[in-house]
Amino acid sequence: MANYTANNEEKYQIVCPYCFNEAAGGKPFSHKDVHFRAETYYANPGAIEQALGTSKIDIEMMSNAKERDKAMARYEAAERFLLREDPVYNKFWKDYDGTTEREGRMDGDVKPWNLPVISAGNGVQRLTTDEDGFVVAAMDDFGKPTYRRVCPYCHNPLPMGFGKHRVKNISIIGITGAGKTVYISQLLKGMTDYAAKSGLGAFFTSDHESNFIQDNRVAKGVPLPIGTLPNRLSQPMFYDIVQTRGSKVKEDTIVLYDIAGENCRKAGDMVRFARFIEHSDGLILLIDPKQLNFVVNDNADEDVDAPSLALNTLHAVLEKAENKKCTIPIAVCVSKSDQCFDILPAMAQDHVQMAGQDETGMPSQEFDGRSYNQLSRELTDLMKRNAMSVCTILQGNYLNFNFFAVSATGCECVQNETGRSIPVMKPEPRRIEEPILWLFKQFGYIQSNENVYRPFPVKQPDKEIWKKGFMGLGGHWERVAGELASFEEDMIRDGVIRIGGK
């Protein structure tokens, strides 16, 4: 560890994963401007008097002005560390019916979000950095260290190392009944193994991930977890992705957001959650197979329009310019694929395998596009036959999307007397990692062992080719139709290009 000095290079700029620095117009803040929650605290003024051995009234009655001022400064410094409600923090969470932060390992009834917020020059005596000069801790005015970093604008907790590496945000959106909570729990549980299939390392950087898995347990004989309430915001989940190439190691931070599909039915419902969608670098959209007509729906009129409504609402949030396609990658997933294995390609029941091996025999840093293409093309045909309205919206409003089939349980479930679904055997997820590995390819973390097909080829803008005149004299531009871009790796042109010329 090292103490921070003003000479450190200002290369670490942070955007809060909760408020996105909206109070500062979205401008990043320096890692040295991070605030902290102190480990030193006083429950009430009486605790301060007991610690200092005197009361505020006694100090005010001291006859020696110099001694009085010194004692009062010490008392007022301690007052900064009183436990109290945090209006900044509470203002953020008021929009979501209160905080979902866990109390953690605190004494008595002390809640971590009521701990004193301190910063450099305001309760912080000294900042502490890691070996790279990144601020990780602080020493308070009473000599007690704290590692509880918080955003200076909304006072939400920043996980270990957040802001040191490049950040990519992924929103996971579940149309009503799609099993999003079960999917996220299973994805988090297996994330380390899933990343390893593509030659990547992965580790969690906060307690939110293990808390989510614990609160939403998926196991044989245990009722599946209940979905997220529409008004509530789950804590973002964080993990770092590690890429190793030779002797070089590169880390990136992934933030996962849990967004209830009920908030995507119309723009008005999205107001509180729009900030997370707007700042997403990738989306995973989970759709119940009933809403795609992949299985018989006993309530045929119930939420059949939900996928279309969600896609239209998301486009309105993501793309402000009219008549422009959204370029953010979106993985459109048929969830609960175990319910429709009879119409899905046989490989939908298979597990995702590593794409290949590198020269050391370890998994190569690749997405298995070769296998995925087989599944994708058959899924596209099914979507066109059963959910053409969804295909039409995707083709018209989105440039970068693909289809996936996932099952978070991979086994039969029965309903108990209260209507909760219970796995009858040990859950065995199928292909739940494929959407996020595809996003890793989109982010450039990994390559693909084969070019990946687009569900619907994109027509490139026209070309203008120079045609020479007779005997090479003069000439003219001749417009020809643009070609089709059939693979994700094909760059999409912004407009007409000219080839040849004088």
Same domain for 199 and 137: no
pLDDT at position 494:
83
Residue 51 CA to residue 400 CA, distance in Å, equals 61
- Examine the fold and report which residue of 150, 174, 190 is the final residue of a domain before the chain moves on: 150
| H/E segment holding residue 312 | helix 306-318
Integer angstrom CA distances of residue 208 from 25, 179, 234, 259, 410:
27, 19, 9, 15, 25
pLDDT at position 486:
94
Same domain for 466 and 445: no
Same domain for 200 and 88: no
Residue 49 lies in a domain: no
Angle at 375 between CA 373 and CA 379, to 5 degrees: 115
| H/E segment holding residue 401 | strand 401-405
- Examine the fold and report which residue of 117, 150, 183 is the final residue of a domain before the chain moves on: 150
Residue 491 lies in a domain: yes
Q: What is the pTM of this model?
A: 0.91
Same domain for 198 and 90: no
pLDDT at position 4:
38
Number of structural domains found in the chain: 3
Residue 147 CA to residue 37 CA, distance in Å, equals 8
**Main-chain phi, psi angles of 341, to 5 degrees:** -60, -25
Record the tokens describing residue 329, joined without a space: 């990658």
- Examine the fold and report which residue of 122, 150, 178 is the final residue of a domain before the chain moves on: 150
Record the tokens describing residue 393, joined without a space: 């919206």
Q: Look up the domain containing 372 and give its range.
A: 166-455
Please say whether the beta carbons of 140 and 146 come within 8 A: yes
Residue 67 CA to residue 72 CA, distance in Å, equals 8
Residue 87 lies in a domain: yes
Residue 61 lies in a domain: no
DSSP state string for 244-277? EETTEEEEEEEEEEEEEGGGGSSGGGGTTTHHHH
Residue 359 maps to which CATH number? 3.40.50.300
Same domain for 203 and 116: no
454's CB contacts (< 8 A; 6+ apart) are: 402, 485, 486, 487, 488
Same domain for 285 and 188: yes
Same domain for 180 and 145: no
181's CB contacts (< 8 A; 6+ apart) are: 174, 216, 225, 226, 227, 228, 258
Same domain for 332 and 297: yes
If you count them, how many residues does the chain have? 502
Angle at 282 between CA 281 and CA 285, to 5 degrees: 150
Angle at 418 between CA 416 and CA 420, to 5 degrees: 60
Residue 473 lies in a domain: yes
Residue 110 lies in a domain: yes
pLDDT at position 7:
41
Per-residue pLDDT 10s for the chain (502 aa) are 444 333 444 689 999 999 999 999 999 999 999 999 999 999 988 888 888 777 777 777 777 778 777 877 787 888 899 999 999 999 999 999 999 998 876 666 789 999 999 999 899 999 999 999 999 999 999 999 999 999 999 999 999 999 999 999 999 999 888 999 999 999 999 999 999 999 999 999 999 999 999 999 999 999 999 888 888 999 999 999 999 988 899 999 999 999 987 777 767 778 889 999 999 999 999 999 999 988 876 665 556 678 998 999 999 888 876 778 999 999 999 999 998 888 988 888 999 999 999 888 899 999 999 999 999 999 999 999 999 999 999 999 999 999 999 999 999 899 888 889 999 999 999 999 999 999 999 999 999 999 999 999 999 889 998 888 888 788 888 999 988 999 999 988 888 888 887 6
pLDDT at position 281:
97
94's CB contacts (< 8 A; 6+ apart) are: none
pLDDT at position 55:
76
pLDDT at position 8:
43
What is the 3-class SS of 222-241, one letter each residue? CCCCCCCCCCCCCCCEEEEE
Same domain for 176 and 126: no
Same domain for 464 and 404: no
Residue 382 CA from chain centroid, whole number: 29
Strands (E) located in 101-146: 117-120, 123-129, 135-140, 145-146
Residue 129 lies in a domain: yes
pLDDT at position 285:
97
Strand, helix or coil for residue 459: strand
Same domain for 446 and 464: no
Same domain for 170 and 120: no
Residue 459 CA to residue 481 CA, distance in Å, equals 9
Residue 205 lies in a domain: yes
Please say whether the beta carbons of 171 and 234 come within 8 A: no
